[in-house]
Amino acid sequence: MTDLKKDLYDVTIMGSGPAGLTAAIYTARANLEPVVFEGSQPGGQLTITTDVENFPGFSDGIMGPDLMNEMREQALRFGAEAHMASIAKVDLSERPFTVTLEDGTEYKTKTFVIASGARARLLGLDSESRLMGRGVSTCATCDGFFFRDQELAIVGGGDSAMEEAVFLTKFASKVTVIHRREELRASQIMQDRAFNNDKIEFLWNREVVEVLGNEDDGVTGLKLMNNETEDVEDFDVDGLFIAIGHIPNTEIFKGKLKMNDHGYIMTEPDSSRTSVPGVFAVGDVQDWTYRQAITAAGSGCKGAIDAERYLEEAHDIEKHRTEEWD
Protein backbone atom coordinates (compact mmCIF):
# COMPACT_ATOMS: atom_id res chain seq x y z
CA MET A 1 0.00 0.00 0.00
CA THR A 2 1.18 3.53 -0.79
CA ASP A 3 2.23 5.40 2.35
CA LEU A 4 0.34 8.69 2.08
CA LYS A 5 0.86 11.53 4.53
CA LYS A 6 -2.82 12.48 4.68
CA ASP A 7 -6.32 11.08 4.32
CA LEU A 8 -7.59 14.33 2.77
CA TYR A 9 -5.57 16.54 0.40
CA ASP A 10 -6.24 20.02 -0.91
CA VAL A 11 -4.79 19.17 -4.33
CA THR A 12 -4.11 15.91 -6.15
CA ILE A 13 -2.09 15.97 -9.37
CA MET A 14 -2.22 13.02 -11.74
CA GLY A 15 0.89 13.00 -13.90
CA SER A 16 4.49 14.17 -13.62
CA GLY A 17 5.34 15.71 -16.98
CA PRO A 18 5.89 19.45 -17.48
CA ALA A 19 2.21 20.21 -16.85
CA GLY A 20 1.88 18.14 -13.69
CA LEU A 21 5.15 19.26 -12.13
CA THR A 22 4.50 22.93 -12.91
CA ALA A 23 1.11 22.58 -11.24
CA ALA A 24 2.90 20.96 -8.30
CA ILE A 25 5.42 23.82 -8.04
CA TYR A 26 2.71 26.49 -8.04
CA THR A 27 0.34 24.75 -5.63
CA ALA A 28 3.21 23.84 -3.30
CA ARG A 29 4.37 27.46 -3.21
CA ALA A 30 0.79 28.38 -2.32
CA ASN A 31 1.12 26.12 0.76
CA LEU A 32 -1.47 23.68 -0.57
CA GLU A 33 0.82 20.67 -0.04
CA PRO A 34 -0.17 18.85 -3.25
CA VAL A 35 0.29 15.13 -3.77
CA VAL A 36 1.62 14.03 -7.18
CA PHE A 37 1.19 10.56 -8.63
CA GLU A 38 3.91 10.02 -11.20
CA GLY A 39 2.39 7.03 -12.97
CA SER A 40 4.19 4.34 -14.95
CA GLN A 41 6.45 6.84 -16.74
CA PRO A 42 7.65 9.45 -14.22
CA GLY A 43 8.52 12.64 -16.05
CA GLY A 44 6.27 11.90 -19.01
CA GLN A 45 7.35 11.79 -22.64
CA LEU A 46 10.39 14.00 -22.06
CA THR A 47 12.11 11.14 -20.26
CA ILE A 48 12.55 9.39 -23.62
CA THR A 49 13.84 12.57 -25.28
CA THR A 50 17.56 13.25 -25.50
CA ASP A 51 18.40 16.90 -26.17
CA VAL A 52 15.76 19.53 -25.39
CA GLU A 53 16.80 22.80 -27.02
CA ASN A 54 13.51 24.69 -27.22
CA PHE A 55 12.67 25.00 -23.52
CA PRO A 56 13.47 28.58 -22.43
CA GLY A 57 16.27 29.09 -19.96
CA PHE A 58 18.79 26.56 -21.24
CA SER A 59 21.02 28.21 -23.82
CA ASP A 60 23.02 25.03 -24.38
CA GLY A 61 20.00 22.74 -24.21
CA ILE A 62 19.26 20.13 -21.57
CA MET A 63 18.62 16.41 -21.58
CA GLY A 64 14.93 15.56 -21.26
CA PRO A 65 15.33 13.41 -18.12
CA ASP A 66 17.50 16.11 -16.52
CA LEU A 67 14.88 18.78 -17.17
CA MET A 68 12.15 16.68 -15.60
CA ASN A 69 14.32 15.81 -12.60
CA GLU A 70 15.03 19.51 -12.01
CA MET A 71 11.30 20.29 -12.13
CA ARG A 72 10.55 17.42 -9.76
CA GLU A 73 13.18 18.52 -7.25
CA GLN A 74 11.84 22.08 -7.43
CA ALA A 75 8.32 20.86 -6.61
CA LEU A 76 9.59 18.73 -3.71
CA ARG A 77 11.62 21.65 -2.33
CA PHE A 78 8.43 23.67 -1.94
CA GLY A 79 6.61 20.86 -0.15
CA ALA A 80 4.95 18.71 -2.81
CA GLU A 81 4.54 15.02 -2.01
CA ALA A 82 5.32 12.61 -4.86
CA HIS A 83 4.71 8.89 -5.29
CA MET A 84 5.71 6.49 -8.06
CA ALA A 85 2.19 5.11 -8.16
CA SER A 86 -0.72 5.11 -10.58
CA ILE A 87 -4.32 6.16 -10.04
CA ALA A 88 -6.81 3.41 -10.91
CA LYS A 89 -10.10 5.29 -10.48
CA VAL A 90 -11.60 8.53 -9.23
CA ASP A 91 -15.13 9.06 -7.91
CA LEU A 92 -16.12 12.56 -9.03
CA SER A 93 -19.79 12.21 -8.08
CA GLU A 94 -19.41 13.94 -4.72
CA ARG A 95 -16.95 16.21 -2.97
CA PRO A 96 -14.41 15.66 -1.64
CA PHE A 97 -13.47 13.30 -4.46
CA THR A 98 -12.40 9.74 -3.69
CA VAL A 99 -9.19 8.53 -5.31
CA THR A 100 -8.17 4.87 -5.52
CA LEU A 101 -4.64 3.85 -6.44
CA GLU A 102 -3.74 0.68 -8.34
CA ASP A 103 -2.54 -0.95 -5.11
CA GLY A 104 -5.92 -0.33 -3.48
CA THR A 105 -4.93 2.70 -1.40
CA GLU A 106 -7.90 5.06 -1.06
CA TYR A 107 -8.05 8.68 0.07
CA LYS A 108 -9.97 11.91 -0.54
CA THR A 109 -9.07 15.17 -2.26
CA LYS A 110 -10.75 18.56 -2.55
CA THR A 111 -9.44 19.34 -6.04
CA PHE A 112 -8.05 17.14 -8.78
CA VAL A 113 -5.62 18.25 -11.52
CA ILE A 114 -5.40 15.88 -14.48
CA ALA A 115 -1.99 16.04 -16.15
CA SER A 116 -1.82 12.47 -17.41
CA GLY A 117 -0.78 13.56 -20.90
CA ALA A 118 -1.15 11.76 -24.21
CA ARG A 119 0.91 9.04 -25.80
CA ALA A 120 1.87 8.93 -29.44
CA ARG A 121 0.46 6.09 -31.48
CA LEU A 122 3.39 3.91 -32.42
CA LEU A 123 3.99 1.17 -34.95
CA GLY A 124 4.54 -1.39 -32.22
CA LEU A 125 8.00 -2.53 -33.35
CA ASP A 126 10.74 -3.54 -30.92
CA SER A 127 13.29 -1.72 -33.10
CA GLU A 128 11.14 1.41 -32.99
CA SER A 129 11.16 1.42 -29.19
CA ARG A 130 14.87 0.64 -29.03
CA LEU A 131 15.77 3.59 -31.27
CA MET A 132 13.28 6.08 -29.87
CA GLY A 133 15.22 9.30 -29.28
CA ARG A 134 18.10 7.93 -31.35
CA GLY A 135 16.73 8.69 -34.80
CA VAL A 136 13.11 7.76 -34.17
CA SER A 137 10.85 10.61 -33.07
CA THR A 138 7.18 11.44 -32.66
CA CYS A 139 7.64 15.22 -32.75
CA ALA A 140 9.00 17.07 -35.78
CA THR A 141 8.79 20.43 -34.01
CA CYS A 142 10.90 19.08 -31.16
CA ASP A 143 13.53 17.14 -33.09
CA GLY A 144 13.60 18.32 -36.71
CA PHE A 145 16.49 20.69 -36.02
CA PHE A 146 18.80 17.76 -35.27
CA PHE A 147 18.45 16.36 -38.80
CA ARG A 148 19.80 19.24 -40.84
CA ASP A 149 20.74 18.18 -44.41
CA GLN A 150 19.74 14.57 -43.78
CA GLU A 151 17.20 12.31 -45.47
CA LEU A 152 14.14 11.56 -43.38
CA ALA A 153 11.03 9.41 -43.53
CA ILE A 154 7.68 10.11 -41.94
CA VAL A 155 4.87 7.59 -41.47
CA GLY A 156 1.28 8.82 -41.73
CA GLY A 157 -1.32 10.17 -44.09
CA GLY A 158 -3.33 12.71 -42.14
CA ASP A 159 -3.11 16.46 -41.64
CA SER A 160 -0.56 16.14 -38.84
CA ALA A 161 1.70 13.97 -40.99
CA MET A 162 1.58 16.42 -43.88
CA GLU A 163 2.16 19.38 -41.59
CA GLU A 164 5.17 17.70 -40.01
CA ALA A 165 6.53 16.59 -43.39
CA VAL A 166 6.44 20.18 -44.65
CA PHE A 167 8.02 21.40 -41.42
CA LEU A 168 10.86 18.86 -41.72
CA THR A 169 11.79 20.19 -45.16
CA LYS A 170 13.14 23.29 -43.40
CA PHE A 171 15.99 21.10 -42.20
CA ALA A 172 16.14 17.85 -44.18
CA SER A 173 17.50 17.41 -47.68
CA LYS A 174 14.61 15.07 -48.48
CA VAL A 175 11.49 13.84 -46.70
CA THR A 176 9.75 10.65 -47.80
CA VAL A 177 6.16 10.12 -46.70
CA ILE A 178 5.43 6.43 -46.16
CA HIS A 179 1.75 5.57 -46.30
CA ARG A 180 0.04 2.21 -46.12
CA ARG A 181 -2.64 3.23 -48.60
CA GLU A 182 -2.46 4.75 -52.08
CA GLU A 183 -4.14 8.01 -51.13
CA LEU A 184 -3.91 10.39 -48.21
CA ARG A 185 -6.66 11.08 -45.70
CA ALA A 186 -5.34 14.62 -45.09
CA SER A 187 -7.41 17.64 -46.07
CA GLN A 188 -6.96 18.84 -49.63
CA ILE A 189 -5.10 21.98 -48.64
CA MET A 190 -2.58 19.97 -46.63
CA GLN A 191 -2.18 17.48 -49.47
CA ASP A 192 -1.52 20.31 -51.91
CA ARG A 193 1.18 21.78 -49.67
CA ALA A 194 2.94 18.43 -49.46
CA PHE A 195 2.58 17.52 -53.14
CA ASN A 196 3.88 20.94 -54.20
CA ASN A 197 6.98 20.73 -52.02
CA ASP A 198 9.99 19.66 -54.08
CA LYS A 199 11.66 18.07 -51.06
CA ILE A 200 8.79 15.68 -50.32
CA GLU A 201 8.40 12.30 -52.01
CA PHE A 202 5.82 9.56 -51.42
CA LEU A 203 5.93 5.80 -51.06
CA TRP A 204 2.45 4.29 -51.33
CA ASN A 205 1.17 0.97 -50.00
CA ARG A 206 4.20 0.57 -47.79
CA GLU A 207 4.50 -0.39 -44.13
CA VAL A 208 7.55 -0.17 -41.88
CA VAL A 209 8.31 -3.66 -40.56
CA GLU A 210 11.67 -2.89 -38.98
CA VAL A 211 13.81 0.14 -38.11
CA LEU A 212 17.47 -0.45 -38.89
CA GLY A 213 20.32 0.98 -36.85
CA ASN A 214 21.85 0.85 -33.40
CA GLU A 215 22.08 2.99 -30.30
CA ASP A 216 25.50 4.36 -31.27
CA ASP A 217 24.83 5.28 -34.92
CA GLY A 218 21.10 5.88 -34.64
CA VAL A 219 18.73 5.07 -37.50
CA THR A 220 20.41 3.92 -40.71
CA GLY A 221 17.42 2.68 -42.67
CA LEU A 222 14.09 0.88 -42.74
CA LYS A 223 12.68 -2.40 -43.91
CA LEU A 224 9.48 -1.68 -45.84
CA MET A 225 6.83 -4.15 -46.91
CA ASN A 226 4.71 -3.55 -49.99
CA ASN A 227 1.31 -4.55 -48.65
CA GLU A 228 0.06 -5.38 -52.15
CA THR A 229 2.87 -7.73 -53.15
CA GLU A 230 4.27 -8.48 -49.64
CA ASP A 231 7.76 -7.82 -51.01
CA VAL A 232 10.20 -6.42 -48.43
CA GLU A 233 12.80 -3.83 -49.37
CA ASP A 234 15.52 -1.88 -47.57
CA PHE A 235 15.21 1.90 -47.58
CA ASP A 236 18.13 4.09 -46.56
CA VAL A 237 17.19 6.97 -44.28
CA ASP A 238 18.76 8.95 -41.44
CA GLY A 239 15.70 9.39 -39.26
CA LEU A 240 12.11 8.24 -38.86
CA PHE A 241 9.19 10.35 -37.64
CA ILE A 242 5.93 8.71 -36.58
CA ALA A 243 2.82 10.82 -37.21
CA ILE A 244 -0.15 8.49 -36.89
CA GLY A 245 -1.90 10.28 -34.07
CA HIS A 246 -1.94 10.52 -30.29
CA ILE A 247 -4.01 8.83 -27.59
CA PRO A 248 -4.89 10.95 -24.54
CA ASN A 249 -4.53 9.10 -21.24
CA THR A 250 -8.12 9.68 -20.19
CA GLU A 251 -9.57 6.17 -20.03
CA ILE A 252 -10.53 6.34 -16.34
CA PHE A 253 -12.49 9.56 -16.91
CA LYS A 254 -14.79 8.32 -19.67
CA GLY A 255 -18.39 9.01 -18.74
CA LYS A 256 -17.27 11.28 -15.91
CA LEU A 257 -15.95 14.34 -17.77
CA LYS A 258 -16.87 16.02 -21.03
CA MET A 259 -14.50 14.91 -23.82
CA ASN A 260 -14.27 15.35 -27.55
CA ASP A 261 -14.59 12.48 -30.02
CA HIS A 262 -10.90 11.65 -29.68
CA GLY A 263 -10.93 11.36 -25.90
CA TYR A 264 -9.34 14.72 -25.06
CA ILE A 265 -10.82 16.42 -21.99
CA MET A 266 -12.75 19.56 -22.82
CA THR A 267 -11.99 22.67 -20.77
CA GLU A 268 -13.65 26.07 -20.58
CA PRO A 269 -12.14 28.74 -22.88
CA ASP A 270 -8.98 30.28 -21.43
CA SER A 271 -9.23 28.00 -18.44
CA SER A 272 -8.31 24.56 -17.14
CA ARG A 273 -11.78 24.03 -15.65
CA THR A 274 -13.54 20.86 -16.77
CA SER A 275 -17.21 19.92 -16.73
CA VAL A 276 -16.94 18.95 -13.04
CA PRO A 277 -16.24 21.79 -10.57
CA GLY A 278 -12.99 21.21 -8.73
CA VAL A 279 -11.49 19.11 -11.52
CA PHE A 280 -8.92 20.71 -13.83
CA ALA A 281 -7.18 19.39 -16.96
CA VAL A 282 -3.77 20.60 -18.11
CA GLY A 283 -1.15 19.71 -20.70
CA ASP A 284 -1.50 17.23 -23.53
CA VAL A 285 -4.55 15.60 -21.97
CA GLN A 286 -6.56 18.60 -23.21
CA ASP A 287 -4.23 20.04 -25.88
CA TRP A 288 -4.36 18.32 -29.26
CA THR A 289 -2.86 21.30 -31.12
CA TYR A 290 0.51 22.33 -29.68
CA ARG A 291 1.77 19.41 -27.57
CA GLN A 292 4.98 21.17 -26.50
CA ALA A 293 6.74 21.03 -23.16
CA ILE A 294 6.53 24.79 -22.70
CA THR A 295 2.80 25.00 -23.49
CA ALA A 296 2.18 22.07 -21.16
CA ALA A 297 4.08 23.83 -18.39
CA GLY A 298 2.08 27.01 -19.00
CA SER A 299 -1.21 25.17 -18.74
CA GLY A 300 0.03 23.49 -15.55
CA CYS A 301 0.45 26.96 -14.09
CA LYS A 302 -3.11 27.82 -15.11
CA GLY A 303 -4.43 24.61 -13.52
CA ALA A 304 -2.65 25.38 -10.25
CA ILE A 305 -4.02 28.92 -10.10
CA ASP A 306 -7.51 27.71 -11.01
CA ALA A 307 -7.38 25.09 -8.25
CA GLU A 308 -6.15 27.63 -5.71
CA ARG A 309 -8.93 30.07 -6.63
CA TYR A 310 -11.50 27.30 -6.44
CA LEU A 311 -10.41 26.53 -2.88
CA GLU A 312 -10.39 30.22 -2.00
CA GLU A 313 -13.96 30.58 -3.22
CA ALA A 314 -14.89 27.72 -0.88
CA HIS A 315 -13.14 29.66 1.93
CA ASP A 316 -11.09 26.54 2.44
CA ILE A 317 -7.53 27.86 2.52
CA GLU A 318 -8.22 29.88 5.65
CA LYS A 319 -10.65 27.52 7.42
CA HIS A 320 -9.29 24.23 6.03
CA ARG A 321 -12.32 22.29 7.27
CA THR A 322 -15.65 23.80 6.27
CA GLU A 323 -19.02 22.13 6.16
CA GLU A 324 -18.65 21.70 2.40
CA TRP A 325 -15.72 19.35 2.88
CA ASP A 326 -16.83 17.53 6.07
Long-range CB pairs of 250-253 (<8 Å, 24+ gap) are 250/114, 250/116, 250/285, 252/87, 252/88, 252/89, 252/90, 253/90, 253/114
* Surface-to-core class of residue 11, CB atoms within 10 Å of its CB (0-12 exposed, 13-18 middle, 19+ buried): buried
CB 6 within 8 A of CB 12: no
Looking at the structure, tell me whether residues 86 and 126 fall in a common domain.
no
Q: Does residue 1 form part of some domain?
A: no
**Could you give the strand order of the β-sheet that contains 232-236, starting from the edge strand earlier in sequence?**
206-214, 218-226, 232-236
Last residue of a domain, one of 242, 268, 287: 242
Closest CA to 276 of 76, 111, 81: 111
Q: Does residue 288 form part of some domain?
A: yes
Instruction: Examine the residue annotation and report whether 301 is marked as an active-site residue of this protein.
Output: no
CB 181 within 8 A of CB 205: yes
* Surface-to-core class of residue 3, CB atoms within 10 Å of its CB (0-12 exposed, 13-18 middle, 19+ buried): exposed
What pLDDT shows up at residue 316?
52
Distance CA 161, CA 242 (A): 8
Looking at the structure, tell me whether residues 270 and 217 fall in a common domain.
no
Last residue of a domain, one of 242, 273, 304: 242
310 sits in the region (left: phi over 0; alpha: psi -120 to 50; else beta) called alpha
Looking at the structure, tell me whether residues 159 and 221 fall in a common domain.
yes
Backbone Cα Rg of the chain? 22
Instruction: Examine the residue annotation and report whether 139 is marked as an active-site residue of this protein.
Output: yes
Tens digit of pLDDT per residue, the chain (326 long)?
899 999 999 999 999 999 999 999 999 999 999 999 998 777 777 766 667 888 999 999 898 889 999 999 999 999 999 999 999 999 999 999 999 999 999 999 999 999 999 888 899 999 999 999 899 999 888 889 999 999 999 999 998 899 899 999 999 999 999 999 999 999 899 999 999 999 999 999 999 999 999 989 999 999 999 999 999 999 999 999 999 988 999 999 999 999 999 999 999 999 999 999 999 999 999 998 888 899 999 999 999 999 999 999 976 554 544 444 44
What pLDDT shows up at residue 7?
96
Domains identified in the chain, total number: 2
DSSP code per residue over 108-144: EEEEEEE---EEE-----HHHHHTBTTTEES-HHHHG
Write out the residue range of the structural domain in which residue 14 sits.
8-119+246-324
Instruction: Examine the residue annotation and report whether 198 is marked as an active-site residue of this protein.
Output: no
What pLDDT shows up at residue 54?
84
Q: Does residue 204 form part of some domain?
A: yes
What CATH code is carried by the domain that includes residue 173?
A: 3.50.50.60
Which amino acid is it at 234?
D
Looking at the structure, tell me whether residues 31 and 75 fall in a common domain.
yes
Looking at the structure, tell me whether residues 297 and 198 fall in a common domain.
no
Dihedrals phi, psi of 318, to nearest 5 degrees:
-80, -45
Last residue of a domain, one of 211, 242, 273: 242
**Active-site position among 66, 91, 139, 301:** 139
DSSP code at position 264: P
Closest CA to 319 of 86, 83, 10: 10
Looking at the structure, tell me whether residues 132 and 237 fall in a common domain.
yes
SS3 262: coil
305: number of CA atoms within 13 Å, CB side? 9
What is the value of pTM for the model shown? 0.77
Long-range CB pairs of 258-263 (<8 Å, 24+ gap) are 260/288, 262/288
CA dihedral 256, 258, 261, 267 (to 10 degrees): -140
Looking at the structure, tell me whether residues 126 and 168 fall in a common domain.
yes
DSSP code per residue over 74-99: HHHHTT-EEES--EEEEE-SSSSEEE
Distance CA 234, CA 248 (A): 33
Looking at the structure, tell me whether residues 127 and 113 fall in a common domain.
no
Instruction: Report in angstroms the alpha-carbon separations of 51 from 55, 58, 154.
Output: 10, 11, 20
Dihedrals phi, psi of 27, to nearest 5 degrees:
-70, -30
Looking at the structure, tell me whether residues 138 and 67 fall in a common domain.
no
Looking at the structure, tell me whether residues 159 and 236 fall in a common domain.
yes
**Active-site position among 10, 143, 284, 287:** 143
Q: Does residue 2 form part of some domain?
A: no
**Active-site position among 142, 238, 287, 306:** 142
Distance CA 23, CA 153 (A): 36
